[in-house]
C-alpha cells in the first residue's frame, strides 16, 4: 500500500509508504494522498491530520524519476499525471481540519512542496530541504508558487537556481519549518502540537483555515471586507458562546462544532 491511513482517536495519520524509493511520488502515492485527504470530510470524528513518510531517511524525495509516469500513457495522459501534484494541493486546501507535517527525513523537490502544503511543520534535526531539479535539467514549476509564498522571491530563486539543500535549522530560519527537534523527540513534539490543536474550537479552526486560504489571493482591502464577514459568521456560532462562557466560568469548553 503506497499510502497508509491510520486513525487514532481524533487524529488521522497518512504515511507515504515507499521507503525503498525514499517515499518518492508516483501516481499511486499521489492518488492515495488525494483520496486520503478527500476521505477526511467523510470522517466526522477526525479533527487533525498528520502527514509523514515511512522510515527515517526521507519524508518525500520528490517525483519518482525512475518510474513516475505510466510508460505507455499518451501525451495527454502523461500531462494529466503530472498535474496530480496540483490536484493534491487543491485537496489539501479543501481540508477543514489542520494538517501537520511530521518531517521525518529529507523533503526534496516535489516532496518539499508537499511539506509546504501542510499548515504546520515539525522536522527532525537531521532532515534536509531543497529543490535539486535544476541539476537534472528540470525546474520546480508547480511548487515554486508555494516556495515564493513562504520565503519571498529572492530566497526562492536562490533555492531553485542553485539546487542547494538547506539543513533543518536553516529551513527553520528561512520560515519553511515551524519547529526543529532532535530525531528522538519528533513524535513527542508532534503529539504535543496535535494536543494543542485538539484543544481549540473545531469550527473556529475550520472557518479560520478556510478564510486564511481565501484571503491570501485578495488585496488587503478586499481581504479585510471578506474577513469581516467571516467574523460576523463565527460570532453567531454555538462554539463562541460556549468558549466565552467557559472562559468566565473558568472551566474547559465543551465544543459542539456548530
Contact 141, 131 (CB under 8 A): no
Query: E-strand spans in 61-126?
Result: 99-103, 106-108, 120-124
Q: 20 burial class (0-12, 13-18, 19+ CB within 10 angstroms)?
A: exposed
154 φψ region: left (φ > 0), alpha (ψ -120 to 50), beta (else): alpha
Element (H or E) spanning 4, and its range? strand 3-8
Element (H or E) spanning 60, and its range? strand 58-60
Bridge partners (DSSP) of residue 230 are: none
Across the beta sheet with 120-124, what order do the strands follow? 3-8, 11-16, 48-53, 99-103, 120-124, 179-181
Catalytic site residue 133? yes
Active-site choice (133, 158, 164, 252):
133
Residues annotated as catalytic (active site), given as ranges: 133
Amino acid at each position: 500500500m503506497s499510502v497508509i491511513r491510520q486513525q487514532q482517536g481524533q487524529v488521522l495519520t497518512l504515511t507515504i509508504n515507499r521507503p525503498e524509493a525514499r517515499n518518492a511520488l508516483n501516481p499511486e502515492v499521489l492518488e492515495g494522498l488525494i483520496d486520503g485527504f478527500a476521505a477526511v470530510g467523510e470522517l466526522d470524528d477526525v479533527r487533525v491530520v498528520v502527514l509523514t513518510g515511512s522510515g527515517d531517511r526521507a519524508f518525500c524525495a520528490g517525483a519518482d524519476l525512475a518510474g513516475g509516469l505510466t510508460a505507455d500513457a499518451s501525451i495527454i495522459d502523461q500531462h494529466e499525471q503530472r498535474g496530480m501534484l496540483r490536484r493534491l494541493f487543491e485537496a489539501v486546501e479543501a481540508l477543514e481540519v489542520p494538517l501537520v507535517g511530521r518531517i521525518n527525513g529529507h523533503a526534496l523537490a516535489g516532496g518539499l512542496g508537499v511539506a509546504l502544503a501542510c499548515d504546520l511543520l515539525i522536522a527532525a534535526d537531521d532532515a534536509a530541504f531543497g529543490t535539486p531539479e535544476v541539476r537534472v535539467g528540470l525546474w520546480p514549476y508547480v511548487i515554486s508558487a508555494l516556495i515564493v509564498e513562504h520565503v519571498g522571491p529572492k530566497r526562492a530563486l536562490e533555492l531553485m537556481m542553485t539546487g542547494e539543500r538547506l539543513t533543518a535549522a536553516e529551513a527553520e530560519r528561512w520560515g519553511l519549518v515551524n519547529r526543529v527537534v532532535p530525531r528522538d523527540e519528533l513524535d513527542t513534539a508532534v503529539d504535543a502540537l496535535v494536543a494543542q490543536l485538539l484543544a481549540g474550537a473545531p469550527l473556529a479552526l475550520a472557518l479560520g483555515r478556510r478564510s486564511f486560504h481565501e484571503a491570501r489571493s485578495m488585496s488587503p482591502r478586499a481581504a479585510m471586507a471578506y474577513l469581516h464577514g467571516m467574523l460576523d459568521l463565527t460570532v453567531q456560532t454555538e462554539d463562541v458562546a460556549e468558549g466565552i462562557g467557559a472562559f468566565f466560568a473558568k472551566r474547559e469548553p465543551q465544543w459542539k462544532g456548530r
